[in-house]
Structure 1
Amino acid sequence: MASIPVLADHSQTPSLLRETQSVLSACDVQWLQAPAEGLFLRVENGCLGLVDGRALKQKPVVVDFVAGKARHRQLYGGGRSQAIAKAVGLHQRSQLDVIDATAGLGQDAFVLAGLGAQVRLLERHPWVYLLLSDGLARAQREGLEAATRMTLLPLAQDLESVGATDVVYLDPMFPEIGRKSAVKKPMALFQQLVGGDDDADALLPVALETARLRVVVKRPRLAPVLAGQAPTYALTGKSNRFDIYALRSVLSDAS
């Protein structure tokens, strides 16, 4: 695994560095003295962010559940009537155990946790894992209730090893060719780092073995179904689609 370049002023950000030390120690970190020419992580204003050294004036990619778009979406996104809540089953039952197996920047997981779900997050990309770990730690320090229902599992863990859950949520990266102009710069930077999930099809059979109630796959509206397997039904919006693979009724185990 290639080392992760991190630029930080140790004298100005000691608390953040202490709190992320256990996470950083699990990765091969290369401490920078000056900005790199390509992508790197930077500690600034108490946050860990993804930066492009060729565009230092561009806003970094930061996981911010406290005051960012994720928080706004949680407060004003439509609650249990929004599509993601209906797809997972939270419009029928609030106390669900969910594994977000492709957590990314954690935005969907934060929404689900805000609606009452207990969410375990898996993220295998070490750079993204560090960003997510930092953002979740800050949200938990601020006492956000949703953050207390989110657990970021170890970097080395995968879906096959986490055990059974009510719902498995999948949102594999799917670059949309020909629509680059529609992608905002921070997200374009994230896509540049992560690329596509070439093995996304392999996640579906594992998810179906892991979930007790259903598997939910988030896709671009016109993207093909995962692994060529048709869902039980789908909820389609303007830009995204939720494919639901129903195994049992969401209410079947409700107390």
Structure 2
Amino acid sequence: MSATNSIAVAYVHSSDADKAKKIAQHWQFNYIGDRAAATKQPALEYLLQVNDQVLELIKLDEPKTGAVKVDFVDGAVGHRRKFGGGRGQEIAKAVGLKHGFCPHVLDATAGLGRDAFVLASLGCQLTLVERNPVVAALLADGLERASLNLEVAEITSRMTLIHAPALNSLTELANADVVYLDPMYPAKEKSAAIKKEMRLFQGLVGKDLDADDLLAPALDLAKYRVVVKRPSYAPPLADKKPSTSINMKKNRFDVYVNQAIPKPAESI
């Protein structure tokens, strides 16, 4: 069953009805109406619900899992924006954000947009590509709400979302300075230890079976480098050895260099 058939949109409060209808129409999802009606449809596994004007994803048969939403203002993303370490972060080093160089980054597997937001907060221009309509709908809602917040509106103005298959976008988009890839990889931990959004997405989105196929077009597209985020236990994408790797506790960034990042022009 496809994502668009196994999911529907509902509202929690009647004041959310108009937004829920617009989201269902835009993304071509089924519209249920009141959230209570969802429990009467046994074939429905996932629900996109508008709750106080915030779009959330829930799994109806796992209520304890909680709701997943995109929030660029508060929570973990807000904390990382304020205290994450700026350009000293590993992701900043991986994309080559140094010496005043702010690349245009194409995030071809955008997901919930957290890494893209970090890079945008450091001055990069981001093009985000997300092929799953459910994830894209959550991300679009988060970007729309963030654009109305004075704290982060300037940051999200540097983020452009494209809903399209990643492979098609990689071959059709204009050159990017850096291509960033973070394909979903099976978690090594037991399911109880996996974050709630990962559990939901693994069931809804499934594995990125074509992940290895992304590397070659990404290398063709990237002007300077391709950065691949991988779990520490995962093999390199397409079994291709990277130019260098930046290792962290649970993950690493594999960096494939096409050419050196330019040095800033000398001051006159």
TM-score (norm: length of structure 2): 0.86
1:222 to 233, 242, 259: 233
Distance 1:69 1:140 in 2: 18
Question: Counterpart of 1:72 in 2: which secondary structure?
Answer: helix
Contact 1:218 1:240 in 2 (8 A): yes
Contact 2:13 2:51 in 1 (8 A): no
Distance 1:125 1:110 in 2: 19
Paired position in structure 2 for 1:136:
143
Paired position in structure 2 for 1:90:
97
Distance 2:10 2:148 in 1: 23
1:189 is displaced (CA, Å) by 1.8
Residues 1:44 and 2:24 are matched in the alignment = no
Larger Rg: 2
Identity in percent: 44
Q: Residues 188, 172 of structure 1: CA spacing in aligned structure 2 closer, same or farther, 3 A cutoff? A: same
Residues 1:5 and 2:16 are matched in the alignment = no
Residues 205-225 of structure 1, C-alpha deviations (whole Å, 9 max, x = no match):
010011001000000011000
Q: Residues 155, 17 of structure 1: CA spacing in aligned structure 2 closer, same or farther, 3 A cutoff? A: farther
Q: Residues 171, 254 of structure 1: CA spacing in aligned structure 2 closer, same or farther, 3 A cutoff? A: farther
Distance 1:254 1:108 in 2: 29
Paired position in structure 2 for 1:233:
244
Q: 5+ unaligned residues in a row in structure 2: which ranges? A: none
Question: Counterpart of 1:92 in 2: which secondary structure?
Answer: coil
Contact 1:129 1:155 in 2 (8 A): no
Amino acid at match of 1:106: G
Q: 5+ unaligned residues in a row in structure 1: which ranges? A: none
Q: What does 1:24-103 correspond to in 2, within 5 Å?
A: 24-33=24-33, 34-36=37-39, 37=42, 38-103=45-110
Q: Residues 129, 254 of structure 1: CA spacing in aligned structure 2 closer, same or farther, 3 A cutoff? A: farther
Paired position in structure 2 for 1:189:
200
Distance 2:73 2:230 in 1: 27
Across the two proteins, how many residue pairs are aligned to each other?
A: 252
Amino acid at match of 1:88: V
Residues 1:112 and 2:123 are matched in the alignment = no
2:220 to 190, 205, 209: 209
1:24 is displaced (CA, Å) by 4.5
1:176 is displaced (CA, Å) by 1.9
1:25 is displaced (CA, Å) by 3.7
Contact 2:132 2:163 in 1 (8 A): no
Amino acid at match of 1:86: K
Question: Counterpart of 1:13 in 2: which secondary structure?
Answer: helix
Paired position in structure 1 for 2:260:
249
Residues 46-105 of structure 1, C-alpha deviations (whole Å, 9 max, x = no match):
111110111335420000101121121121111111110100111333421000000000
Contact 2:24 2:30 in 1 (8 A): no
Q: Which stretches of structure 1, 4 residues or more, deviate above 4 A after TM superposition?
A: 252-255
Q: Select between 24-33 and 58-67 the one with higher mean Cα deviation.
A: 24-33
Distance 1:242 1:159 in 2: 20
Contact 1:8 1:42 in 2 (8 A): yes
Residues 1:148 and 2:157 are matched in the alignment = yes
Amino acid at match of 2:27: C
Distance 1:254 1:217 in 2: 29
